[in-house]
Amino acid sequence: MSLRITVLGRGAWGSTLARLWQERGHAVQSWSRRDGGSPAPLLPCSDLVVVAVSMAGVPSLAAGLAPDWPTGLPLLSCSKGIDLDSLGTATQLWRHRLPRAPIAVLSGPNLAAELERGLPAASVIASDDGALAQRLQMVLATTNLRLYTNADPIGTEAAGALKNVMALAAGISDGLGLGANAKASLLCRGLAEIGVVLAAMGGQTATLYGLAGLGDLLATANSPLSRNYSFGMLLAEGLSETRALERIGATVEGPRTARATLALARQHGWKLPICEQVVQLLDGSIDAGQAVRALMERDPRPEANP
Contact between 151 and 127 (Cβ < 8 Å)? yes
CB hemisphere CA count around 46 (13 angstroms): 27
What DSSP string runs through 131-148? HHHHHHHHHH-BTTEEEE
Each residue's pLDDT tens digit, 162-208: 999 999 999 999 999 999 999 999 999 999 999 999 999 999 999 99
Sign of the dihedral defined by the CA atoms of residues 197, 200, 201, 202, in that order: positive
Q: Give catalytic status of residue 271 as yes or no.
A: no
Q: What is the pLDDT of residue 272?
A: 96
pLDDT-derived band at 155 (thresholds 50, 70, 90) equals: very high
Contact between 230 and 212 (Cβ < 8 Å)? no
Task: Spell out the residues 6+ positions from residue 220 whose beta carbon is closer than 8 angstroms to its own.
Answer: 109, 111, 163, 164, 167, 226, 228, 229
Q: What is the pLDDT of residue 7?
A: 98
Q: What is the pLDDT of residue 62?
A: 98
What DSSP string runs through 187-201? HHHHHHHHHHHHHHT
Q: What is the pLDDT of residue 124?
A: 98
Scanning 25-111, the segments in alpha helix (DSSP H) are 58-65, 90-97
Of residues 23, 25, 20, the one with CA closest to residue 50: 20
- Of 202 and 298, more confident: 202
Q: Is the pLDDT of residue 298 over 80?
A: no
Q: What is the pLDDT of residue 296?
A: 81
What does the DSSP 8-state code read for residue 299? P
Each residue's pLDDT tens digit, 203-222: 999 999 999 999 999 999 99
Question: Taking CA 91 as the corner, what is the angle to CA 64 and CA 202, rounded to the nearest 5 degrees?
Answer: 150
Each residue's pLDDT tens digit, 108-141: 999 999 999 999 999 999 999 999 999 999 999 9
Each residue's pLDDT tens digit, 271-282: 999 999 999 999
3-state secondary structure of 118: coil
pTM over 0.85: yes
Q: What is the pLDDT of residue 293?
A: 85
According to DSSP, the β-strands at 103-107 and 121-126 are antiparallel
Each residue's pLDDT tens digit, 26-84: 999 999 999 999 999 999 999 999 999 999 999 999 999 999 999 999 999 999 999 99
Torsion of CA 28, 31, 34, 40, to 10 degrees: 160
Name all domains of the chain by residue range, CATH numbers in brackets.
4-151 (3.40.50.720), 160-296 (1.10.1040.10)
The per-type count for the chain, helices as H runs and strands as E runs, is 14, 7
What DSSP string runs through 201-264? TT--HHHHTSIIIIIHHHHHTS-TT-HHHHHHHHHHTT--HHHHHHHH-S---HHHHHHHHHHH
Q: What is the pLDDT of residue 294?
A: 85
Element (H, E) at 158: helix 153-175
